[in-house]
Structure 1
Amino acid sequence: MPAAQLFLNAGGRTGGTVMWFFVILVQFFTGCSAMLADTRMTYAFARDEALPFSKLLAKINGITHTPVNSVWFVVFFSTVLNLIAIGSTETATAIFNVTAPALDISYISVILAHRIYRDRVQFIEGPYTLGRWGPPVNWISIAWVIFISVILFFPPTRPITASNMNYAICVALFIALFSLSWWWLSARNKYIGPRTKELMQSVPEDDYDDGDHRNSTDV
């Protein structure tokens, strides 16, 4: 039963309308938050030349001083993903089902890289660490995410047919192949990691000097 019908049955016309209004309001703010995070991620990767058309996506608008191109790219891409559901529910479900394992895999990719390259990369530990318990906890986390990701790619019911097959694995493989192909074809020659030092150097030092001067004067 659709959610709107449940609200109508539970609260009547007035109560159901009020509850549905709050659902729409929550969806709106959730969408704004997700779009903000996606835009920041798109701009960050484009700024470091890790995406196709990086120069276009990383361009800062001279009036608003914001990455407008990245914003519109996220809006367009999100709209296309949602329009897919109109033509094929199975395709849209496959795309959205990949989000949970993809999020988990993004976590363990960093953990796994840290365990593999810990002797080659100078790692600066934070104020709180697990000490000697760190490595076993890391490997347990990796094993768990691999296990749960495999489970999440399973079809929901048996027997497996073309209609109930979980096609999220196909979407995940496409994303992985596209990312690896782009890395080997172009990104590996340009991407050097986050360029935070360059950004900090572009900030005028007078702003910091004036702030320090004001603080010292106030004291």
Structure 2
Amino acid sequence: MAITPLPIGGKLRFAAGSPNTLRSATWMVVGGTNGRDVYVSMRSLMNELKFSLHASGNWRVAMTSESGIADNWVWEDSPFRSADEDPRVVTRLAPPPEVDGWRQALDIVVSEPGLQQPFPEKRVKGGAISWWRPPFDNWVRTFAVLISRPGLEYNPRNFPFTDPVVGVINLPGRSSVVVITKLFYRPWTVEKVREVRRDFENAGWRQDGADSPLLFKLGTVTTTVWDLGLDPLRSA
């Protein structure tokens, strides 16, 4: 099926499962309007906590100004923060190297123990959520976020990846952000998500709670984000 890129400033929403069955959180990628900037988060957290991947190379995970975070908040366990860092910044990220003109910025990983019960979700105005078959047993579904260099717009004829394309957003500077998806056999990842979700639930986190944990692993190549199935039932 041919993919029609969303215009500059577009918003791409996607999830594994279906609205009425076990499902992942809805994830959201937003393209910048004034530069080749890309923003990524769960739809429910986009107005509070997100990955900001700026064309300048200033990549970070940070609370938003709307989150109401206190100025004296202190984040720990991040070697990428300076002592005088903006208190909203959780950590900074190192942009991965370009390969064939593309950076694989993030891998969002969905697994069976990270799926959650269906929940009411705010209607998407002028758009839709792209739904994909959920993973099962020891398989995971990965959504990879790819950003191209200036002057390299998405073109299916010379796109260097063969995995299914979830969606494309045009960026300023004749660039693109593309999300692709694939199923992988990863039993060790599935077990890790099961253990971590159990730990969060034992600590009091619930799907119907007010907040959601965002678990990610910084990498020298690509940062990995795990969907734990503890979406706080709020929409952006």
Give yes or no for TM over 0.5: no
Which structure has more relative contact order (CA 8 Å, sep 6+)? It is 2
Higher helix proportion (structure 1 or 2)? 1
> Normalising by the residue count of structure 1, what TM-score does the alignment of the two structures yield?
0.26
Larger strand share, 1 or 2: 2
TM superposition score normalised by structure 2: 0.25
Larger radius of gyration: 1
